[in-house]
Amino acid sequence: MMRRDQSGLTLVEIMVVMVIIAALAAVAFPFLDNVLQVMTSKGASEQVAGAIRLARQHAITRGNNHCIEFSASPSTQYQIRVAPDTTNCTGAVVDGLAWQTVGNGAAVTNPAPAPTLIFDPLGNRQLPPAGSGNTVFDVDTQPASCLSIITVTLYGGVRVSKC
């Protein structure tokens, strides 16, 4: 026996709610695509900054010069080497750190090609020459979407400014 005061949802009400949800999703989708590009660029810049910090840390903990070398332009790969002196990045590659790829199709875009950085056992940046001030790298996805800037100070500090 059915009671007349029973409550529930009709098919029409459910369809109206589904149409509203679909409309909101269609409006939000372009914004989510941009968020993905921004997050990709930020992740790549943090990866490059982390690699620079790792090269500096190897120099400090192992007590000899270490460098980070980038591939040709656009610089989509890097490797960390033992540097024989403060001007050459020609030594042996550190185990496990040969030609690592910058994630998600990102690259160091400026300067092109990216400069080699050499750190001494105190963690100071030696190359590019110490008198040249900060070394600045631009990291972005390919094609460009969200430029991040990495700054390496004379004393080996690494800062990332994200878009």
- Per-domain residue ranges for the chain? 11-161
- The beta-strand segments (E) located in 47-134 are 66-70, 77-82, 100-101, 106-110, 117-119, 125-127
Q: What pLDDT, on a 0 to 100 scale, did the predictor assign at position 63?
A: 96
Q: What are phi and psi of 96, to 5 degrees?
A: 80, 0
Give the model's pLDDT for residue 90. 93
C-alpha 78/C-alpha 65 separation (Å) is 17
So what's the pLDDT on residue 22? 94
- pLDDT for 4 equals 65
Residue 27 in tokens: 């409006």
Comparing CA positions, the residue from 115, 106, 129, 43 lying closest to residue 72 is 115
According to the model, what pLDDT value does residue 113 have? 84
Tally Cβ neighbours within 10 Å of residue 86. Answer: 16
Q: So what's the pLDDT on residue 130?
A: 58
**pLDDT of 150:** 93
Per residue of the chain (163 residues), what is the pLDDT tens digit?
556 666 778 889 999 999 999 999 888 887 777 787 788 888 889 999 999 999 999 999 999 999 999 998 778 999 999 999 989 999 999 999 999 999 878 888 888 888 899 999 999 999 887 567 899 999 888 777 788 999 999 999 999 997 7
Cβ-based neighbours of 86, under 8 Å, separated by 6 or more: 65, 118, 120, 126, 127
Q: At the top level of CATH, which class does the domain 11-161 belong to?
A: alpha beta
C-alpha 114/C-alpha 89 separation (Å) is 13
The pTM (predicted TM-score) of the whole model is 0.80
pLDDT of residue 53: 97
Residue 124: the pLDDT is 94
